[in-house]
């Protein structure tokens, strides 16, 4: 089987870590699918040159030719630039990538730091991020700002299904690893993150809808369902991250807890994500374009490499994905090649070579 993968390095270190991820995919041993790579443009630098951040051709070729894609990072400016909007945000919309899936895990065998092996699934399309904001001025001249928050059954149901499916998929993968190396010993577990003690209508609907998903499929009955209020979720995640398997949350809470969780494993350069829809997947490192180190060959490629693993996992190639995760973990645990973000002086290429050799 040949997989056609769109590569969109975009800006800054995206141009360094996406080629690294490509090399790792190509280093997969005999038996893995063959890869056909399609190079596609997007980004702020492209916008500065051409006035377009996400060319129509990029979207069209992803739809028409590709099984999935890898996206690097964009250098979105913090001030408003006329005519510019983030290409990755646009891509998520155009391809209806409604789930943002972020595994946060310590390397297997890692001795320092808290052990963590969790998967955060963030709803990617609604909640407060529908950006329905308005401002009113009272007769006495005081301003009041409002924002609407949308929680729909439809969006909650499909993100809930994703959470149950992923909990089962993780469990299946776990069964293949030796008992001693498994961090999570319990049954597949989904923790619903909400605040329905206060927001009983919106968060209440999210909570009930995700819970109800369990009744849809006999396979889901093997999943344990837990709940955690979002504030105590943050507290527990830092105190005892090993207590979580899959966590599912509405957009805003998911955004906050997933960035927070990334701090648990030591560097943004380690954390991958996937934007997942029913018909398409885009793997994407969580980090940005890192202008402070771009062009110096010292970016940590692990987040991008693990994102390539996630992409394969979502395309159904779980064995190949596991190979990539294991190769990365071995190299990290060996500890003789360490990039500057983790206190060493290894280069992007050296680390990538080591991962390829390990494969
Ligand atoms: P950043 O993630 O680019 O960098 C934060 C810090 O982490 C920097 O010191 C950087 O050197 C370091 N870092 C990040 N990834 C690394 C890696 N792989 N290896 C080693 N060190 C790494 O976030 P920042 O600085 O807030 O944003 C820079 C630009 O990136 C901005 O224009 C922002 O809009 C954009 N950005 C884009 C994202 C995306 O494409 N999804 C996500 C976050 C930021
Ligand atoms: Mg964020």
**Which atom in ligand 1 lies closest to the alpha carbon of residue 287?**
2
Atom 10 in ligand 1: residue holding the nearest Cα = 290
Task: For 120-136, give one letter per residue: b (16+ CB within 10 A) or e.
Answer: bbbbbbbbbbeeeeeee
Residue that the structure tokens 């609407």 belong to: 148
Task: For 137-151, give one letter per residue: b (16+ CB within 10 A) or e.
Answer: eeeeeeeeeeeebeb
Whether 145 shows a pLDDT value over 90: the answer reads yes
Share of the chain above pLDDT 70, in %: 98
Global ipTM: 0.96
Q: Do domains 1-97+277-359 and 106-267 have the same CATH topology?
A: yes
Which ligand has the shortest distance to the CA of 342? Answer: 1
Instruction: Specify the CATH superfamily of domain 1-97+277-359.
Output: Isopropylmalate Dehydrogenase (3.40.718.10)
Instruction: Name 59's Cβ contacts closer than 8 Å, sequence gap at least 6.
Output: 91, 94, 95
Q: Is the dihedral of CA 319, 27, 311, 179 positive or negative?
A: positive
Residue 23 confidence class, pLDDT cut points 50, 70, 90: very high
Instruction: Specify the CATH superfamily of domain 106-267.
Output: Isopropylmalate Dehydrogenase (3.40.718.10)
Q: Is 308 in the pocket of ligand 1 (CB under 6 A)?
A: no
Structure token pair of residue 51: 């006035």
Q: Is 287 in the pocket of ligand 1 (CB under 6 A)?
A: yes
Whether 111 shows a pLDDT value over 70: the answer reads no
> How confident is the model over 148-174, as a mean pLDDT?
95
In this prediction, residue 106 carries a pLDDT of 83
Query: What are the backbone angles phi and psi of residue 7, rounded to the nearest 5°?
Result: -110, 120
Whether 47 shows a pLDDT value over 70: the answer reads yes
CA distance 90 to 124: 12
Q: What is the pTM of this model?
A: 0.91
Positions marked catalytic: 129, 195, 231, 255, 259
Name the nearest CA neighbour of 325 among 181, 191, 223: 181
Tell me the domain boundaries of the chain. Answer: 1-97+277-359, 106-267
User: How many CB atoms neighbour CB 84 within 10 A?
Assistant: 15
Whole-angstrom Cα Rg for the chain: 20
Residue 128 confidence class, pLDDT cut points 50, 70, 90: very high
Structure token pair of residue 277: 């829809």
Q: What is the 3-state secondary structure (H, E, C) of 108-131?
A: CCCCCCCCCEEEEEEECCCEHHHC
Which ligand has the shortest distance to the CA of 291? Answer: 1
């Amino acid at each position: 089987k040949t997989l056609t993968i769109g590569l969109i390095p975009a800006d800054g270190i995206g141009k360094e870590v996406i080629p690294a991820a490509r090399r790792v995919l190509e280093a997969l041993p005999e038996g893995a699918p063959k890869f056909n790579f399609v190079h596609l443009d997007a980004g702020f630098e492209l916008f500065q040159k051409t006035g377009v951040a996400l060319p129509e051709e990029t979207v069209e070729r992803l739809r028409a030719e590709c099984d999935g894609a890898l996206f690097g990072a964009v250098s979105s400016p913090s001030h408003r630039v006329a005519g510019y909007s983030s290409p990755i945000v646009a891509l998520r919309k155009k391809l209806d990538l409604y789930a943002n899936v972020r595994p946060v895990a310590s390397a297997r065998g890692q001795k320092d730091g808290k052990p963590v092996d969790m998967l955060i699934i963030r709803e990617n399309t609604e909640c407060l991020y529908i950006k329905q904001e308005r401002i009113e001025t009272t007769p006495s001249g005081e301003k009041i700002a409002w924002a609407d928050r949308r929680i729909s059954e439809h969006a909650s149901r499909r993100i809930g299904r994703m959470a149950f499916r992923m909990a089962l998929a993780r469990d299946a993968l776990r069964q293949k690893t030796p008992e001693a190396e498994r961090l999570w010993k319990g049954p597949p577990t989904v923790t619903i993150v909400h605040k329905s003690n206060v927001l009983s209508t919106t968060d209440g609907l999210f909570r009930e809808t995700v819970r109800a998903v369990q009744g849809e499929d006999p396979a889901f009955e093997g999943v344990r369902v837990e709940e955690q209020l979002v504030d105590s979720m943050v507290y527990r995640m830092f105190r005892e991250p090993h207590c979580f398997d899959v966590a599912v949350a509405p957009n805003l809470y998911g955004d906050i807890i997933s960035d927070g969780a990334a701090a648990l494993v030591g560097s943004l350069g380690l954390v991958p994500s996937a934007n997942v829809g029913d018909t398409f997947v885009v793997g994407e490192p969580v980090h940005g374009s890192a202008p402070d180190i771009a062009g110096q060959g010292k970016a940590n490629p692990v987040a991008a490499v693990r994102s390539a693993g996630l992409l394969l996992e979502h395309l159904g190639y779980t064995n190949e994905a596991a190979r990539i995760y294991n190769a990365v973990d071995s190299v990290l645990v060996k500890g003789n090649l360490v990039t500057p973000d983790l206190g060493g002086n290894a280069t992007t290429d050296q680390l990538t070579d080591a991962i390829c050799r390990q494969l």
